[in-house]
Structure 1
Amino acid sequence: RLDDKKANVMLEVVTNENTKDDIFSIVTLGESDLKKLGKLVQEKNFSAILNAATILLQQQRETEADFHHKYEIGTYIEKLIREKLSKELQNRVSFGDNETETTNIQGGQDIVIFLDKNPVYFIEVKSRWNSQNSVSMSKLQLQRAVEENRRYALCTVDITRYPGKNDRYKLSTDEILPLTKFVTNIGDTIKPLIEDNLEAEKHQEKSIHLIEYRGIIPQDIIQRGNDFKSFIEILFTIITEKT
């Protein structure tokens, strides 16, 4: 009787509206992947393995989206600034990033704006995905913000405030901009936290020092930052004052 019922039970599982897409995805895997999955299912800690894989996939999607945000914001800032500059200044201003920069500037920011090949402004772009957490800055980013406190901004794209229904990992520039804030005084704010360490590392090369630490930036500080339009005006003023 059990053998007679097996086919009917399997058919009910496969055609269940809540699971049929998932079941179909599994049975259409290649033979090699299907065997790997079969062995994993037999592991006692399969649930933990599945959770770890889900978290890793989520982190990967967020990392890829972070790069997208940085590119979109950097490109849009450059476009707006160039539109406001005279033709003469347009030829003197250039934009770079950590991937393409050829000077001795190392890390601490995602976007660097140059005037006559000299850096005049630094921007670090962060994305926030979880309403339970705020953004954090690395040791190098914190140090750069303090060292360049008059020409450094922390830019945050708060995805948790996105009201639409589109894929939040593939938002357009128009969808990203309303979620964006620029904190232009972040260096002054965090200076009391790290100035002792900066001073110690400067004068005592062989002393005990911190290799890595991170700073959590509270949301109230971020929300008091400038919107995109206001930041462009600030940036334009800084660039033109340097000429």
Structure 2
Amino acid sequence: MKAQELADEIQKPFKGDDGRRTIANDSHRKQYLEIIERFNNPEDGHIWRNLFSIINQIRPYLMLSVIDSPQSQESIFTIMKVEDEIKLQKIAALAEDPNFDRIVTLGKEALEKEERENNDIEFKKKLGAIVEEILQKELNDILNGNTLEAPLVRNEQGGQDLILKINNLPVYYIEVKSRWSSDRSVLMTTLQHRTSYQEKEHYALCAADMTSFLERARKHEYPPFEQIECHLMFIPNIGELNSRLKDATLDNDSQVHIAGGYQVIVPQDVIAEHGISFRNFIDLLKGKIKKMIV
């Protein structure tokens, strides 16, 4: 039997006005799908399309017919709306990858982590801007020509998030930590710990207790500052508290010591005992600035 005759015999059930448009329960469903798959082969796809022209004309119906659940059909319709060919190719390649589920899970986790980090940074910028604005307003009479700013600082050389500056000179350091889960403590890195006791007279830890905003926790979506202010606690003596660990963390080869890369836990009880409100912290900063300028 010639190739075309064989092809005509295979696609006979689909011929004419009464031709079938479904292969959902067909015993040869797998073979039909393999034929349809060959239509897109860059080397000989045109040959297969010519041989099985009837199947080629109704292949969208046949493809959809094997999807027997409404959820699966909805997923297919969603994919069909994608117009970007490169994106479609990526979807197809991903669907064939044996690590599909793991790739999707890890990809989502990485994206959410990035979103959390970006939202944390934006909150710290906002906090710095608010501190700066309040101090400028309330110290306007004594600032005169002196400049005051509290920019976000993100670099590997510092151990803080915000630096309060007068005339571009650092006068106070603020490290901001947000706690989104009640089972987590506030942690300070090695560099933050060391900076805190080295600059203990002008260094504070800001602990933002965000556990009341559980619905926003997954992406660290911060509500307006007015809602957050009462959840902020500032520990201006964190450097003094951290000093007790200093000797054990110094890089001293003549003594047993803790290696770099350690983290310091700041328990909630310590925050509750030594923390002050945002308003009281602003007053503390005002007092320090006045001593410098006046």
Shorter chain as denominator, the TM-score bin is: 0.7 to 0.9
- Partners of 2:242 and 2:193 lie apart in 1 by 7
Deviating more after overlay: 145-154 vs 113-122: 113-122
Greater RCO (CA < 8 Å, at least 6 residues apart): 1
- Partners of 2:271 and 2:66 lie apart in 1 by 58
1:180 equivalent to 2:232? Answer yes
The verdict on how the C-alpha distance between 1:236 and 1:107 changes in structure 2, with shifts beyond 3 A counting, is: same
- Percent same amino acid among aligned pairs? 28
What is aligned with 2:291? 241
What is aligned with 2:108? 54
What is aligned with 2:270? 221
Among residues 23, 40, 49, which one is paired with 1:3 in the alignment?
23
Among residues 18, 28, 48, which one is paired with 2:81 in the alignment?
28
- Partners of 1:34 and 1:177 lie apart in 2 by 46
- Partners of 1:221 and 1:24 lie apart in 2 by 55
Runs of 5+ unmatched residues, structure 2: 1-19, 26-63
| CA positional deviation for 1:209 | 8.0
Q: What TM-score do the two structures reach when normalised by structure 2?
A: 0.66
Q: What TM-score do the two structures reach when normalised by structure 1?
A: 0.78
Among residues 158, 161, 166, which one is paired with 1:107 in the alignment?
158
The verdict on how the C-alpha distance between 1:8 and 1:51 changes in structure 2, with shifts beyond 3 A counting, is: closer
- Partners of 1:24 and 1:177 lie apart in 2 by 46
Runs of 5+ unmatched residues, structure 1: none
Deviating more after overlay: 40-49 vs 64-73: 40-49
| CA positional deviation for 1:65 | 0.6
- Partners of 1:165 and 1:142 lie apart in 2 by 29
1:75 equivalent to 2:129? Answer yes
| CA positional deviation for 1:57 | 1.2
Q: Is the 8 A contact 2:23 2:66 kept in 1?
A: no
Among residues 230, 235, 243, which one is paired with 2:280 in the alignment?
230
Output the amino acid matched with 1:186: I
Matched position secondary structure for 1:160: coil
Matched position secondary structure for 1:3: coil
How large is the Cα RMSD of the aligned pairs? 3.4
